[in-house]
């Protein structure tokens, strides 16, 4: 049976479009192959190796049997539990405070005003500053002999620098949280500001014209629009602060220690039998970060559907 000319032409066009899509997919796959190989070899390879060692399989030191002894040891250790709670407190508190201040900063930077570009430049300046530099600044400012304690002493607020509240190497990790908040506010704020500028103020204007006040317009209109960006940036910040080592090592207390510091010290212990426990702690950090990513994906899908 011979098809009419329009039908055959449509079939030829559909076959051509399908072949073009297949070629595009193949091109994308080839372009992504180097990056995927690097991720598989470095990230997945290290993750699998660490998981095997956390199960007690470490032939280099004579451990050849798979077991959960390392996980049993750390989960029954009061020091590990306290370190986990402290690490979660650091990550959650710093992420929450940074997110709130970042949204407030982005809302203030959205309107046009004289000197806006300069203010935005100052706001995002510390994105280029390493975390260790900020940690040293917190150490010089808020330690017992730091600048703030000496100024408070000179102003008569305290009798001596020794009377200044402990904000560095303290059990509540105040210095660590200050450093993370200072560093992550512009990271989240730049993302939120980009969303606000792309969305504009039309939706809020409509809400205001319908009788909503400023807070109602923000809560019911602006916040749902920027929430996907806030959540995505917050997940990145939480995962980073939960697994970061250098800041808790420099500004943290001696007990309890942040979980990454505890894992590093266990791994570098002269007793090689402690290596599986260090790997088990690293797996706990990886699982916690993965759970945050899964939670972010679930929240994002809910906002997309709504």
Q: Could you report the per-residue pLDDT of 116-168, keeping only the tens digit for each? A: 888 888 888 888 888 888 888 898 888 878 888 888 888 888 888 778 888 88
pLDDT at 6: 53
> In this structure, are 11 and 79 located in the same domain?
no
Same domain, 77 and 141: yes
Is there a single domain that holds both residue 36 and residue 158?
A: no
Residues 40 and 79 reside in one and the same domain: no
Counting the structural domains of the chain, the total is 2
**pLDDT at 105 > cutoff 80:** yes
How far apart (Å, rounded) are the C-alpha atoms in residues 72 and 85? 18
65 found inside a domain: no
Asked if the structure places residue 61 within a domain, the reply is no
Looking at the domain assignment, is residue 64 inside a domain?
Answer: no
Residue 271 lies in a domain: yes
pLDDT tier for residue 96 given thresholds of 50, 70 and 90: very high
In this prediction, residue 303 carries a pLDDT of: 61
98 and 37 fall within a common domain: no
Packing angle between helix 131-142 and helix 174-199, nearest 10 degrees?
Answer: 130
- Indicate if 138 and 245 belong to the same structural domain: yes
- Residue 1's pLDDT band (cuts 50, 70, 90): very low
Residues 36 and 165 in one domain: no
Domain membership of residue 257 (yes or no) is yes
Tokens 């969303």 — which residue? 195
Domain that holds residue 17: 1-54
The mean pLDDT value for 87-106 works out to 93
One domain, residues 115 and 48 = no
Q: pTM value? A: 0.81
204-253, pLDDT tens digit by residue? 888 888 888 888 888 888 888 888 888 888 888 988 899 888 899 989 88
Q: Are residues 242 and 93 in the same domain?
A: yes
Q: How far apart are CA 102 and CA 290, in angstroms?
A: 24
Q: Does 4 share its domain with 149? A: no
Mean pLDDT of the chain: 83
């Amino acid at each position: 049976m011979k098809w009419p000319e329009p039908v055959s032409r449509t079939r030829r066009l559909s076959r051509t479009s399908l072949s073009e899509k297949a070629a595009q997919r193949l091109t994308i796959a080839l372009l992504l192959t180097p990056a995927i190989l690097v991720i598989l070899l470095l990230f997945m390879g290290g993750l699998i190796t660490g998981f095997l060692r956390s199960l007690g399989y470490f032939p280099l030191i004579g451990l050849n049997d798979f077991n959960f002894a390392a996980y049993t040891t750390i989960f029954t250790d009061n020091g590990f539990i306290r370190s986990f709670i402290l690490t979660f407190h650091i990550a959650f508190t710093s992420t929450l405070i940074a997110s709130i201040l970042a949204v407030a900063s982005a809302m203030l930077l959205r309107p046009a005003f004289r000197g806006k570009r300069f203010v935005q430049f100052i706001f995002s300046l510390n994105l280029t500053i390493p975390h260790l530099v900020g940690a040293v600044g917190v150490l010089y400012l808020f330690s017992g002999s730091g600048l703030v304690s000496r100024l408070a002493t000179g102003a008569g607020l305290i009798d001596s620098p020794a009377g200044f509240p402990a904000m560095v190497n303290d059990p509540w990790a105040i210095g660590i949280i200050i450093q993370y908040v200072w560093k992550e506010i512009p990271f989240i704020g730049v993302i939120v500001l980009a969303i606000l500028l792309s969305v504009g103020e039309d939706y809020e204007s409509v809400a205001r014209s319908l009788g909503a006040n400023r807070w109602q317009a923000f809560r019911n209109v602006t916040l749902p629009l920027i929430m996907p960006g806030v959540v995505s940036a917050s997940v990145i910040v939480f995962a980073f602060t939960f697994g970061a080592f250098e800041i808790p090592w420099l500004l943290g207390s001696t007990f309890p220690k942040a979980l990454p510091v505890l894992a590093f010290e266990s791994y570098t212990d002269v007793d090689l039998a402690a290596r599986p426990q260090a790997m088990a702690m690293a797996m706990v950090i990886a699982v916690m970060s993965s759970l945050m990513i899964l939670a972010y994906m679930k929240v994002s899908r809910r906002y997309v559907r709504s």
